[in-house]
Structure 1
Amino acid sequence: MPDKLKVGIVGCGAIANIRHIPAFLKLKNQVTLQAVCDKNEELATNTARKYGVPGVYSELSQMLAKEKLDIVDICTPPQIHAPLTLEALAGGCHVVLEKPMALKTTDCDQMIAAAQKHNVKLCIVHNQLFYPPVIKARKLVAKGAIGDFIGMRIFMSDPRDEMIMRKDYWVHKLPGGIIGETGPHPVYKSLAFIGRVKNVDVQASRLLEHPWAPFDLFRIDLEGEKGFSSIVISYTSSRRASTIELLGTEGALNIDLLSMLLIRQGKNQSMKPLSLATSALGNAARIAGGVMGNGLSVLTGRGEFYGHNIIISQFVDSVRSNHQPPITAEEGRETVRVIEMIVEKLKTLGGANT
């Protein structure tokens, strides 16, 4: 094992520049950012110049041939995850790639087999599992802090002026359309609590006028081995929101992923005015304290709010120490399997690409 692992980035868009590359740069004692690759040569050149990366390529095959890379990080749209991953694995590189792992479970199976064949690691970036309140919530549920786990509710709202209103955005060409890009996040968060999904039910509607996206409001119900998950995803609001409610026999956990807050609720309190007021004041104090603490962490640079730093650091450690990556390819495949189930339901509603 070399002193520093050589890393190549494939795809130089926003997610690479904002999340992945900075995460690797934080590991400068363990890795060297050796090369970047993008079909858009100008984008690749600008990214390389910005971060002082020596190698610039427009084709993965060129990068693999000329650079002795240990890790390839794939940050492209998911339509090309599978072929790029297979090429990198065949080149003997460990691979970390953005969600979703691929568009089909059959592609995932090929990727898993290739990683095993070439004895390299494959990790999927399910970054929101590494948000601090989600990490804490998983520990609390595991130790029975809210009693027996019953199920969960997830709400996500993406501003309508981002993906949904852009006719030429690549997300609209995914199976299921825009849900194929955003959907993996609530799915993998659900799987972390409810286990393997047995049944899926989907409702969808369109509130805005955009013929390239048949639906902009989704209700997805997942029945898992350990409980249920009810997911609502909206692309019609003017603001962003992302919350999780975890329900148990002895209480609940409420998570706000934008403010990175977790509030633990006990059993139903008395409906008497004094009891309700006391509970409300307590929650308000916890929210205010959490927001202030998180704000200070952001200002001082001590906070970890997006999960990429943690998952990439743990992936590098798994390569160096030869242990299981933080998110396995099998976990990535399970998320893709559930997305496929959702897409099949959307087809019956007349709103899924084939």
Structure 2
Amino acid sequence: MANVLRVGLIGAGGIAQGVHVPNYLKCEDKVEIVAVSDVVKATAEACAEKFSIPHVFEDYKEMLEEIELDAVSICTPNKFHEPATLAALNAGCHVLCEKPPAMTVEEAVSMQQAAKKAGKKLTFGFHYRHMPEVETLKRFVDAGELGAVYAANVRAVRRRGIPGWGVFTNKELQGGGPLIDIGVHMLDTALYLMGYPQPETVLGVTYQKLGNRKGVGLLGDWDSENFSVEDMARAMITFKNGSSILLETAFAANVEEHEVMNVSLMGDKGGADVFPLKVYQEKHDTLIDISPSYLPKKGGHELQIERFVDHCLSNQQPISTPEEGVYLQQIINAIYESSESGRAVTIGKEEKV
């Protein structure tokens, strides 16, 4: 097994330069960032110059053919997740693909099958799983402190938080708006804490009420004339084990808080909120609330990259799997389908992982 992971990047924009590269560099002698590619070569060149990356490409296929790599981070718009992932896996690389997994369920299944065939790791950029609050609560859940978790509320809502940069409001390139950008993080967190139950029925609705007109932008001015995604999505999801999730996510909504990112769990022995972490129980004829007095300081992005590197070098399985990616994609696409049809969507047997 190699002692140093040779890494390449597909996509050299904000998430690559702001998250992936800096956190790979924190791994020091475990990682060598060898190459970077971007369809805008100037962006790749700027990234390479900033971080002293030796090889620059405009076409990631050329990078994969010409440079010997062990692992690849995929930091492209969502439309290109699947083809880039397949190319990297087929080239013998482990893959860390940014969220969401793909644009469609079929693409997510294709990625899962390619990883299995190649015998390589495929994991996704769900960095909230690595947050200390989530890791702590996961230990409580696994120890039975909440009992059987049968319900969850998921919120990822901004008052006026439409990104004023990138392609976040371009449906063709991204596939959707807040649901697949911020909502997907809290949805994955809830599913992870609940043991990733198999989805059964989804009733969803999406809205475009504020994004397609000018307004106050807390994350910069956005292009309201070309705003082609939803600005809010709401859904109820039921699972084959009888549990359920209520989800609400928005880039822009008329609410008090500028931003709320939270998951609330309800079990038959206790409940919990994740951000900030607090556990609710009944013990000795008393209703009690439990809050940690200390949590580790490392952030989710740093731990995600650190663990991806270690898992690749040691041949361990990352905590986010391709199978979970398929379940998550089923839910995402069913929410959009339900909104379009006006009916609940049942996830059929043919879509099982």
TM exceeds 0.5? yes
1:203 aligns with 2:205: yes
- What residue number does 1:299 align with? none
- What residue number does 2:222 align with? none
Written as runs of structure 1 = structure 2, the 5 A alignment for 1:249-328 is 249-256=268-275, 261-267=276-282, 303-305=297-299, 307-328=300-321
* 1:56 positional shift: 1.2
1:316–1:220 CA distance, 2 compared to 1 (3 A): same
Written as runs of structure 1 = structure 2, the 5 A alignment for 1:1-354 is 1-163=1-163, 169-173=168-172, 174-192=174-192, 193=194, 195-208=197-210, 210=212, 212-213=227-228, 215-224=230-239, 225=241, 227-237=243-253, 239-256=258-275, 261-267=276-282, 303-305=297-299, 307-349=300-342
- Give the distance between the partners of 1:336 and 1:198, measured in 2 at CA: 13
- Give the distance between the partners of 1:131 and 1:66, measured in 2 at CA: 36
- Give the distance between the partners of 1:269 and 1:154, measured in 2 at CA: 30
The letter of the residue matching 1:186 is M
- Give the distance between the partners of 2:251 and 2:327, measured in 1 at CA: 25
The letter of the residue matching 2:201 is N
1:243–1:109 CA distance, 2 compared to 1 (3 A): closer
Aligned length: 323
1:161–1:109 CA distance, 2 compared to 1 (3 A): closer
* 1:133 positional shift: 0.8
Query: For each residue in 1:211-243, what CA deviation from the matched residue of structure 2 results, as whole angstroms up to 9, or x when unmatched?
Result: 734642322111122521111112224712111
SS at structure 2 position matched to 1:2? coil
* 1:28 positional shift: 1.5
- Give the distance between the partners of 1:132 and 1:314, measured in 2 at CA: 14
Q: Is the 8 A contact 1:147 1:249 kept in 2?
A: yes
- Give the distance between the partners of 2:258 and 2:336, measured in 1 at CA: 26
SS at structure 1 position matched to 2:335? helix
1:190–1:197 CA distance, 2 compared to 1 (3 A): farther
- Give the distance between the partners of 1:116 and 1:81, measured in 2 at CA: 17
- Give the distance between the partners of 1:251 and 1:45, measured in 2 at CA: 52
The letter of the residue matching 1:136 is T
The letter of the residue matching 2:143 is K
CA RMSD of superposed structures (Å): 2.8
1:248–1:230 CA distance, 2 compared to 1 (3 A): same
1:45–1:115 CA distance, 2 compared to 1 (3 A): same
Fraction of identical pairs, as percent: 27
SS at structure 2 position matched to 1:229? strand
- Give the distance between the partners of 1:308 and 1:168, measured in 2 at CA: 21
Q: For structure 1, list consecutive stretches of 5 or more residues without a partner in the other structure.
A: 295-301
Per mean C-alpha deviation after superposition, the further-off stretch among 144-153 and 51-60 is: 144-153
- Give the distance between the partners of 2:165 and 2:171, measured in 1 at CA: 9
1:121–1:266 CA distance, 2 compared to 1 (3 A): closer
Rg bigger for which structure?
Answer: 1
- Give the distance between the partners of 2:273 and 2:20, measured in 1 at CA: 29
* 1:178 positional shift: 4.4
Q: Is the 8 A contact 1:184 1:336 kept in 2?
A: no
1:96–1:52 CA distance, 2 compared to 1 (3 A): same
The letter of the residue matching 1:172 is K
1:323–1:349 CA distance, 2 compared to 1 (3 A): same
1:11–1:269 CA distance, 2 compared to 1 (3 A): farther
SS at structure 2 position matched to 1:266? strand
Q: For structure 2, list consecutive stretches of 5 or more residues without a partner in the other structure.
A: 214-226, 344-353
The letter of the residue matching 1:327 is S
* 1:254 positional shift: 1.5
1:191–1:171 CA distance, 2 compared to 1 (3 A): farther
1:34–1:105 CA distance, 2 compared to 1 (3 A): same
Tell me the TM-score normalized by structure 1: 0.82
1:4–1:248 CA distance, 2 compared to 1 (3 A): same
- What residue number does 1:298 align with? none
Q: Is the 8 A contact 2:177 2:251 kept in 1?
A: no
- Give the distance between the partners of 1:178 and 1:118, measured in 2 at CA: 33
